Amino acid sequence: MYEKTLTQLAAALKSGEFSSRELTAHYLQRIEKADGQLNSFISVTAEQALQQAEIADKARAAGNAGRLAGIPLALKDIFCTQGVKTSCGSKMLDNFIAPYSATVVEKLNAAGTISLGKTNMDEFAMGSSNENSYYGPVKNPWDLTAVPGGSSGGSAAAVAAGLVPAAMGTDTGGSIRQPAAFCGITGLKPTYGRVSRFGIIAYASSLDQAGPMARSAEDCAHLLGVIAGHDGRDSTSVARGVPDYVEGLNAPLSGLKIGLPKEYFGDGLDPEVEKAVREAVKVYESLGATVREVSLPHTHYAIPAYYVIAPAEASSNLSRYDGVRFGYRCDNPSDLIDLYTRSRAEGFGEEVKRRILIGTHTLSEGFFDAYYTKAQQVRRLIRQDFLDAFEDVDVLMGPASPTPAFDLGAKKDPVSMYLQDIYTIAVNLAGIPGISVPAGFAGGRPVGLQILGTHFAEAQLLNVAHQFQQATDWHLQRPAFAEEYA
């Protein structure tokens, strides 16, 4: 069963090939067998999942099942799930049972999908390797000595290992696309505002966006159709109709204008990654697309701008973790300041503290204009780069990451870790959608092709990605790890 894509599973459930309960039990069994090595889940909600599956089976028997009813999924542990621990990868929230569900979770429940559990992640979504989790690092199923990427590393690893057909992630600077690339799966970051952020624990509110991680673009199209749409509980969610993302998948690509940003093929790009990406572009040419080089001149300012804006927002967003109303509280606080400073020092990990300190410093008196205002100005220039490029081309293509998955423990210096996100981070600053699709291997580890479109061009991105997956089979390849636990 696990070999199938979500789309195939939906068809099998519909035809009665197996029940949702059987399917759910199958994946739960795989998780139980394999996840001791991968560490991709923080919580597995087996009992609830089986109950949900039975409800889905009954609904199907009664003829009330929706397109995705009975499909098992996993949720990054950043999505609040009513009655289930929602830790955000942090000791701070190790005891937090969410009293409500995120809008994304409600929508998935309403569609009849089943949650197998909550996946591991970098603490508060801060990281590019999943080594910053309170619950320990996640391993890459393609190579257990490699990282799965981050921050949605648990979701990516679980899907790649066939522990779940698809999972939800969030992406603030590349946290869906980079782990999707590292684990050889398909991951979509929608346009900012396309998916409600309500109930998603905030890292950087003007950048965060949830999206699907699955085996194929078609799977992502099904899932995006469920989770997208306006939500009255999120002021930044956009009131705009949701198209049928599946319907347009098969549109031909003849005449498609592809731009290759020259800044995405410069120094630091692994030659094997570059080769895989250029091969993929050739596939598109064979499908009738035209290719030209474009420039995104402010690309190199994206990481510096991001490391002002994201930590600034995070420093404020994470002030609510104060040991008063929920979450971790230190033992025997002597006074209020001790309660605050020790609860926070003991509850947060190193990377979270670094970003809180950076954000607090750059917002503070005397530094605000030089850092924050400046970064916001640069943010406008970066967005303009993309808008200008989309005047000339339909989509942009390049690598999702300059290298394939690196070894666990390889990047000790925070800045070298940050530089990993060079191709993904500007996309969040501009708010545009991006998708990473498997496009080969470098040194035996997967390579992701990143495709970017203008605001609300998700249907086009999914179409472009799907056509590639019709012409290639990179997305169908499985790590040996997945087979060993079949």
Partner 1 sequence: MALEESHVRRAAHLARLAVSDDQASGFVDDLSRILDMVDQLQSLDTEGVTPLAHPLDATQRLRADEVTETNQRDTFQRCAPAVENGLYLVPRVVE
Partner 2 sequence: MQWETVIGLEVHVQLATRSKIFSGASTAFGAEPNTQACAVDLGLPGVLPVLNEQAVAMAVQFGLAVHADIAEVSVFDRKNYFYPDLPKGYQTSQMYHPIVGPGEVEITLEDASTKRIRIHHAHLEEDAGKSLHEDFHGMTGIDLNRAGTPLLEIVSEPDMRSAKEAAAYLKAIHSIVTYLGISDGNMAEGSMRCDVNVSVRPKGQEAFGTRAEIKNVNSFRFVERAIAFEVERQIELIEDGGSVVQETRLFDPDRDETRSMRTKEEANDYRYFPCPDLLPVVLDQAYLDHLRGQLPELPADKRERFQNELGLSAYDANVISASRDMAEFFEAVHSECGDAKQAANWVQGELSGALNRESLSIANSPISARQLGELISRVLDDTINGKAAKEVFQALWNGQGESADEVIDAKGLKQVTDTGAIEAMIDQVIADSPAQVAQYRDSEPEKRGKMIGYFVGQVMKASRGTANPQQVNGLLKEKLDALL
Which 222-251 positions form the footprint of partner 2 (CB under 8 A)? Answer: 232-236
User: What's the CA angle centered on 95, arms 122 and 348, to 5 degrees?
Assistant: 40
- Establish if 324 lies at the interface with partner 2 (CB under 8 A): yes
175 is catalytic: yes
Among 43, 129, 133, 151, which one carries the catalytic annotation? Answer: 151
66 binds, among partner 1, partner 2, none (CB under 5 to 8 A by kind): none
- Establish if 323 lies at the interface with partner 1 (CB under 8 A): yes
Positions 85 through 104 that interact with partner 1 (CB under 8 A) = 95-97, 99
- Establish if 372 lies at the interface with partner 2 (CB under 8 A): yes
Choice between 185 and 200, CB closer to partner 2: 200
Positions 97 through 116 that interact with partner 2 (CB under 8 A) = 98-100, 102
Helices and strands, counts by H and E, the chain: 17, 11
- Residue whose structure tokens are 């690339």: 181
User: What's the CA angle centered on 461, arms 456 and 466, to 5 degrees?
Assistant: 145
In angstroms, what is the minimal distance from the CB of 130 to partner 1? 20
- Of the candidates 93, 181, 260, 281, which one interacts with partner 2 according to CB under 8 A? 93
**For residue 226, how far is the Cα from the chain centroid?**
16
Separation in Å, CA 3 to CA 8, 67, 73, 162, 275: 9, 20, 15, 7, 28
- Name, in order, each residue with C-beta under 8 angstroms of 422's C-beta and a sequence gap of 6 or more: 268, 299, 302, 303, 402
| DSSP state letter for 104 | H
- Establish if 369 lies at the interface with partner 2 (CB under 8 A): no
Q: Which residues pair with 143 in a beta bridge?
A: 140
Positions 72 through 91 that interact with partner 2 (CB under 8 A) = 79-80, 86, 88
Check if the beta carbon of residue 471 is closer than 8 Å to that of residue 286.
Answer: yes
3-state DSSP of 217-285:
HHHHHHHHHHHECCCCCCCCCCCCCCCCCCHHHHCCCCCCEEEEEHHHHCCCCCHHHHHHHHHHHHHHH
Check if the beta carbon of residue 169 is closer than 8 Å to that of residue 187.
Answer: yes
Rounded CA-CA distance 388/2 in Å is 43
199 binds, among partner 1, partner 2, none (CB under 5 to 8 A by kind): partner 2
- Establish if 329 lies at the interface with partner 1 (CB under 8 A): yes
250 binds, among partner 2, partner 1, none (CB under 5 to 8 A by kind): none
In angstroms, what is the minimal distance from the CB of 208 to partner 1? 11
345 binds, among partner 1, partner 2, none (CB under 5 to 8 A by kind): partner 1
- Establish if 43 lies at the interface with partner 2 (CB under 8 A): no
- Establish if 265 lies at the interface with partner 2 (CB under 8 A): no
Annotated catalytic residues are 76, 151, 175
List residues near partner 2 by CB under 8 A.
Answer: 79-80, 86, 88, 93, 96, 98-100, 102, 197-202, 204-206, 232-236, 312-313, 315-316, 319-320, 322, 324-326, 336, 340, 360, 363-365, 368, 372
